[in-house]
Amino acid sequence: MCDTCGCGMPSHEHAHEYESDHDGHVIELEMNVLAKNDVYAAANREHLASRGAVAINMISSPGAGKTTLLQQSLNQLKDWRPLAVVEGDLQTDNDARRIQGVGVPVHQINTNNGCHLDAHMVGHAYEHLSLATGSLVFIENVGNLVCPAGFDLGENATVVLLSVTEGDDKPAKYPVAFVNAQVMVITKTDLLPYVDFSMDRCKEFARAVNPDLEIIECSSRTGDGMDGWVAWVKRLANQVAS
């Protein structure tokens, strides 16, 4: 079982699979789940590269504002490149319906209480989406700062979101998510006057675990900082294309 959050998923290190040998005996194989995931991640990378597509993996705690940020920014990116969204959730297609409302193709993955997306699930989503050449794909991971950070999805970049209502010490408490990300988006900055959140402290904690981390502050409510986020996305996509 997942020993990080007790979610019921197989251990992130090992799982057991069963196969029959030539004489029909059932044999137990210990698979390295992460190694298996890496094979699917490599296939996803090839799939994206063959279409000149770019994928961004978005991770955060539940409710940090991933879907809202997507709803706001997809509108600004719609005329720039073909877009697609992979939505990961434990249950429901609520977020997928929000993205559909913006008019962007979306595929929902329900993990049935699994705490993260893995590369195999994302590969299936790509098949369903039939990605157009040059697509920009956003993967909204399951809300969780721990388990998603351990699974390569074959993405071109990982974005970690942190809302100002969550506390400025999250990068120190959940370092792996911040170490593996290229950019941290500090969301809900419109709420700064109402919460004890020090922007300086948060950035210090984040840069202590990842000195190369880019940091963007934004509010999907007011639109402040949205241009910086959209510019980062375009820069990444252009870099991958060149």
Ligand X SMILES: Nc1nc2c(ncn2[C@@H]2O[C@H](COP(=O)(O)OP(=O)(O)O)[C@@H](O)[C@H]2O)c(=O)[nH]1
- Measured from the CB atom, is 52 or 167 closer to ligand X? 167
C-alpha span between 123 and 119 (Å, rounded):
6
Q: Does 190 bind ligand X (CB under 6 A)?
A: yes
Residue 240: how many CB atoms within 10 A of its CB? Answer: 16
Out of 44, 73, 108, 187, the only residue in the binding site for ligand X (CB under 6 A) is 187
C-alpha span between 126 and 86 (Å, rounded):
8
Instruction: Provide the mask over 101-140, with x wherever binding to ligand X is found by CB under 6 A and - wherever it is not.
Output: ----------------------------------------
Phi, psi of 187 (to 5 degrees): -100, 170
159 binds, among ligand X, Mg ion, none (CB under 5 to 8 A by kind): none
Note the residues at the interface with Mg ion (CB under 5 A).
Answer: 66-67, 95
Measuring CA to CA, which residue among 83, 82, 110, 107 is closest to residue 97?
A: 107
Out of 68, 75, 76, 198, the only residue in the binding site for ligand X (CB under 6 A) is 68
- Measured from the CB atom, is 95 or 155 closer to ligand X? 95
Question: Residue 14 in 3-state DSSP?
Answer: strand
The least CB distance from residue 149 to ligand X, in Å, is: 15
Measuring CA to CA, which residue among 118, 142, 151, 169 is closest to residue 62?
A: 142
Residue 229: how many CB atoms within 10 A of its CB? Answer: 21
Residue 105: how many CB atoms within 10 A of its CB? Answer: 18
- Measured from the CB atom, is 156 or 220 closer to Mg ion? 220
The least CB distance from residue 98 to ligand X, in Å, is: 8
DSSP one-letter code for 186: E
C-alpha span between 174 and 160 (Å, rounded):
11
Q: What's the token pair of residue 86? A: 């992979």
Residues facing residue 185 across a β-bridge: 161, 216
64 binds, among ligand X, Mg ion, none (CB under 5 to 8 A by kind): ligand X
44 binds, among Mg ion, ligand X, none (CB under 5 to 8 A by kind): none
Could you tell me how many residues of this chain bind ligand X (CB under 6 A)? 16
47 binds, among ligand X, Mg ion, none (CB under 5 to 8 A by kind): none
- Measured from the CB atom, is 11 or 92 closer to Mg ion? 92
- Interface positions, 6-65, toward ligand X (CB under 6 A): 60, 62-65
Phi, psi of 134 (to 5 degrees): 80, 15
Contacting residues toward ligand X, per CB under 6 A: 60, 62-68, 143, 187-188, 190-191, 219-221
